[in-house]
Amino acid sequence: MKIGLISSHSLPGIRQNKETITIDTPYGNVVAECSSFKNHTIFFINRHGEYARVPPHKINYRGNMAAFASCHVDGILALGTVGSLKKSIKPGDVVIPHDFIDVTKSRSYTFFDDQRIHVDMTSPYCPTLRTALIAATKTVSSTLLHTKGVYLATEGPRLETAAEIKFFSTAADIVGMTGIPEVVLAREKGLCYASLCLVGNMAAGLQQELPADEISLIYKQKESLLSKIIQETIMLFPEKKQCTCAKDLTKATL
C-alpha cells in the first residue's frame, strides 16, 4: 500500500531506504521522501517545507495535499503537537481528534475556488484510520490516550491569549495551528486522513508561561513512542476501508 505521512518532525525507524523526490503540483513543487516500510511505500512530507522553516500561516497546504493525491496514497497519517485546553488533558498525553473548529483567517482553504463544491465534513477524520491509530496506541503505549477530542485551529504564528483559551475551551479540547486546512483539503481530494496529536503544553492561562522549547522537549521525550505508534498503525492499515472519504463529489456540487 501507499501511505502518506505528514509531520513537523522526523520519525525514526519508519523511513527506510529513503529517496528524496520533488513532486510537481499546480501549487508549486513539493519535496517529499519516498521510502519503504515492511511491504508498504511511504511518502513523507514535512509540512513546514524541506528545511522545516515555513511558519504555520504560510504552509503550502494545497501543495502538500495535492502531492499526496498525485502519489495515489491510500491514506494520510498526520502527526502534530498541540496545547491542551482542559485540565484533564496533560502534557505528554496523546489525543486522536474526531472533530475540529477552525478560527484561522487567511489560508487557502479549498481546491475549488472556481466551483460551487461543498464537501461534507460531518466526520472530518477518517473513522477507519482513527480506529487503527487508537488500536496501535493502546498496543504499544501506556501513555494516557484520549480517543476523542475537538481540535481548534488558530492562525498563528503567535500563541493564543488566556482570554481566547478560556473562550475556546467551552467547545474544544486541544489547540494547534496546522491541522486546518489539511484535513479539509484531504477530504476534497477524497483521501483518508487521521491525526495523532501529542500534547506539548497547557494552553495560555493554564500554566504560568509558554516557552517554545518546552514543546520540543516533550516531543523529544516521546519521539520513539510516536514512531512506534505510527509503525503499528501502518501494520494495521486496512486494505479495504469502511469509510466514505473517497465518495463522489457530484453530490457536493451545486
Over residues 85-111, the pLDDT tens digits come to: 999 999 999 999 999 999 999 999 999
CB 120 within 8 A of CB 183: no
The answer to whether residue 208 scores a pLDDT higher than 80 is no
Please give the share of the chain, as a percent, with pLDDT higher than 70.
99
Please give the pLDDT value at position 247: 78
Please give the pLDDT value at position 42: 95
pLDDT band at 246 (very low <50, low <70, confident <90, very high): confident
Give the relative orientation of helices 212-235 and 127-140 as an angle to the nearest 10 degrees: 100
Burial class (CB in 10 A: 0-12, 13-18, 19+), 178: buried
Q: Which residue type sits at 178?
A: T
Cell numbers for 44:
513523507
Cell numbers for 96:
486522536
CB 67 within 8 A of CB 23: yes
Which of these, 167, 181, 79, 70, lies nearest to 121 by C-alpha position?
Answer: 181
CATH number (3.40.640.10, 1.50.10.100, 3.40.50.1580, 3.40.50.300) of 2-252 reads 3.40.50.1580
Phi/psi of residue 193, nearest 5 degrees: -145, 130
Which is higher by pLDDT, 209 or 71? 71
Going by C-beta distance under 8 Å and a sequence separation of 6 or more, which residues neighbour residue 101?
Answer: 150, 151, 152, 153, 168, 171, 172
Going by C-beta distance under 8 Å and a sequence separation of 6 or more, which residues neighbour residue 167?
Answer: none
The answer to whether residue 166 scores a pLDDT higher than 90 is yes
Cell numbers for 186:
484531504
The answer to whether residue 70 scores a pLDDT higher than 80 is yes
Phi/psi of residue 245, nearest 5 degrees: -60, -35
Classify the phi-psi angles of 17: left when phi > 0, otherwise alpha if psi is within -120 to 50, otherwise beta. Answer: left
